[in-house]
């Protein structure tokens, strides 16, 4: 069973930028400080996920959620009715939202939930800030519902595993976007659609079936796309281009430049990716991006750069 000292140790680890595994009522989460780009990059590195999808922020209360998310009357209705519990709400970010751009994959919206699990709530209260947490499994493996599952897959990558026994729901949270009215179902999960619709007295949009298969969240999800033109694999910089650099060996260039990682560290590059893209997009019309190696987090970085380079053509 869980020891209180584990929870305090886990809160200290989060404050130090380290990763922890903790139980929620749905599945175990692999948590890091949601306001730290490096902690969030470490989450992606630990999972070995080839893509940066936006993560869910976990907080102890609706009040905390409102410090970085904008809650309309409809979003408040859902939060007040179903939190704490297995419901994640996607809401617009506040203007001064401190959550890492990598955690939201550069989007203007943020996914947040208040878990019902007692130890999760103690941990979130002890830490104080939002905790970004995907399920605590390696990419492509089943979501963990017991501490042993986490130990087997990620034991060497987390500082503390808070063991709260088997999870009660065993299925990820239901994700509802409050960016639309009526709200839309982005992912079916631990809270039934019918319960949400009964509480609201209206039908949710989305979650439609196509050829008998449900539309995946990926299809309903928006990707961050810069306004600027992005040229990939750049070995040289052309006139009028700003540079998104990687590593110590830079091409000749006198203008605007942001380096993802001067030392060529892929975790640091991931941590800086969205922040640098946003800065360059605000100041330049054309961006030359240096090649990034395809190993480790490089695969996810390149996936995201390719989407950013061709958003219109791909209709993403
Ligand atoms: O039950 C759960 O939700 C677990 C526990 C640990 O809380 N967490 C979890 O996280 O399942 P994850 O990373 O597997 O799922 C996050 C999903 C993304 O794949 C995406 O579909 C959605 O949340 N998401 C996050 N932010 C979003 C946003 N701004 N807009 C749309 N979808 C978003
Ligand atoms: Mg998962």
Q: What residues pack around ion ligand 2 (CB closer than 5 A)?
A: 135
* pLDDT given at position 206: 81
pLDDT bin (cut points 50, 70, 90) of residue 218 is very low
* pLDDT higher than threshold 60 for residue 20: yes
* pLDDT given at position 312: 53
Structure tokens at 22: 């903790």
Closest residue by Cα to atom 3, ligand 1, is: 173
* pLDDT given at position 142: 84
Q: Cα–Cα distance between 245 and 242 in angstroms, integer? A: 9
pLDDT bin (cut points 50, 70, 90) of residue 140 is confident
Distance of CA 189 from the midpoint of ligand 1 (Å): 11
pLDDT bin (cut points 50, 70, 90) of residue 5 is confident
Atom nearest to 113 CA in ligand 1: 7
Closest residue by Cα to atom 21, ligand 1, is: 217
* pLDDT given at position 303: 87
pLDDT, mean of residues 229-241: 96
Query: pLDDT tens-digit profile of 149-202?
Result: 999 999 999 999 999 999 999 889 999 999 999 999 999 889 989 999 999 999
Binding site membership of 129 for ligand 1 (Cβ less than 6 Å): no
Q: Concatenate the DSSP letters of all residues of 158-190 into one string.
A: -SEE----S-SS-SPPEEEE-SSSS-EEEE--S
* pLDDT given at position 207: 62
Binding site membership of 186 for ligand 1 (Cβ less than 6 Å): yes
Binding site membership of 191 for ligand 1 (Cβ less than 6 Å): no
pLDDT, mean of residues 22-32: 97
The values of phi and psi at residue 27, to 5°, are: -145, 170
Kindly state the percentage of the chain with pLDDT values over 70.
Answer: 92
For residue 113, the ligand closest to its alpha carbon is: 1
* pLDDT higher than threshold 70 for residue 213: no
Where would I find the beta strands (DSSP E) of the chain? Answer: 20-22, 29-33, 56-58, 87-92, 109-113, 131-132, 160-161, 174-177, 184-187, 205-206, 209-210, 213-214, 229-231, 242-245, 257-259, 286-289
* pLDDT higher than threshold 70 for residue 224: yes
Q: Which long-range contacts (CB under 8 A, 24 or more apart) does 68-76 make?
A: 68/93, 68/94, 68/97, 68/98, 68/99, 68/110, 68/112, 68/130, 69/93, 69/94, 69/97, 69/110, 69/112, 70/94, 71/178, 72/178, 72/181, 74/178, 74/181, 74/183, 74/200, 75/178, 75/183
* pLDDT given at position 209: 52
pLDDT, mean of residues 199-221: 65
* pLDDT higher than threshold 50 for residue 120: yes
Give me the chain's average pLDDT, please. 91
* pLDDT given at position 268: 95
- What pTM did the predictor assign? 0.89
Query: pLDDT tens-digit profile of 50-92?
Result: 899 999 999 999 999 999 999 999 999 999 999 999 999 999 9
* pLDDT higher than threshold 70 for residue 314: no
Binding site membership of 11 for ligand 1 (Cβ less than 6 Å): no
Binding site membership of 26 for ligand 1 (Cβ less than 6 Å): yes
Binding site membership of 183 for ligand 1 (Cβ less than 6 Å): no
* pLDDT higher than threshold 70 for residue 208: no
Where would I find the beta strands (DSSP E) of 246-302? Answer: 257-259, 286-289
* pLDDT given at position 311: 57
Q: Cα–Cα distance between 224 and 311 in angstroms, integer? A: 9
Atom nearest to 26 CA in ligand 1: 1
pLDDT bin (cut points 50, 70, 90) of residue 216 is very low
Binding site membership of 259 for ligand 1 (Cβ less than 6 Å): no
């Amino acid at each position: 069973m869980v020891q209180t000292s584990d929870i305090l140790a886990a809160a200290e680890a989060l404050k130090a930028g380290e990763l922890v595994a903790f139980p929620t009522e749905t599945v175990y989460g692999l948590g890091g400080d949601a306001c730290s780009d490096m902690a969030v990059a470490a989450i992606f590195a630990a999972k070995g996920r080839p893509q940066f999808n936006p993560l869910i922020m976990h907080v102890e209360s609706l009040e905390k959620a409102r410090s970085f998310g904008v809650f309309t009357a409809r979003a408040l209705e859902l939060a007040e009715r179903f939190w704490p519990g297995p419901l994640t709400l996607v809401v617009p970010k506040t203007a001064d939202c401190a959550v890492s751009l990598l955690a939201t994959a550069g989007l203007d919206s943020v996914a947040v939930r208040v878990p019902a699990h007692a130890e999760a709530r103690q941990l979130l209260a002890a830490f104080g800030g939002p905790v970004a947490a995907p399920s605590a499994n390696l990419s492509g493996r089943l979501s963990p519902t017991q501490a042993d599952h986490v130990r087997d897959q990620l034991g060497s990558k987390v500082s503390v595993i808070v063991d709260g026994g088997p999870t009660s729901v065993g299925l990820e949270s239901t994700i509802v976007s409050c960016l639309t009215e009526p709200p839309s179902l982005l992912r079916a999960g631990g809270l039934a659609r019918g319960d949400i619709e009964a509480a609201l007295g209206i039908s949710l949009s989305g979650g439609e079936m196509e050829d008998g298969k449900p539309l995946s969240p990926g299809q309903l999800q928006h990707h961050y796309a810069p306004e600027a033109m992005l040229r990939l694999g750049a070995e040289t910089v052309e006139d009028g281009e700003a540079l998104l650099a990687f590593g110590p060996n830079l091409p000749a260039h006198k203008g605007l430049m942001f380096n993802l990682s001067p030392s060529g560290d892929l975790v640091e590059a991931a941590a800086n990716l969205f922040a640098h893209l946003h800065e360059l997009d605000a100041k330049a019309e054309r961006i030359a991006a240096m090649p990034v190696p395809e190993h480790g987090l490089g695969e996810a970085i390149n996936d995201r750069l390719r989407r950013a380079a061709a958003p219109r053509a791909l209709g993403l």
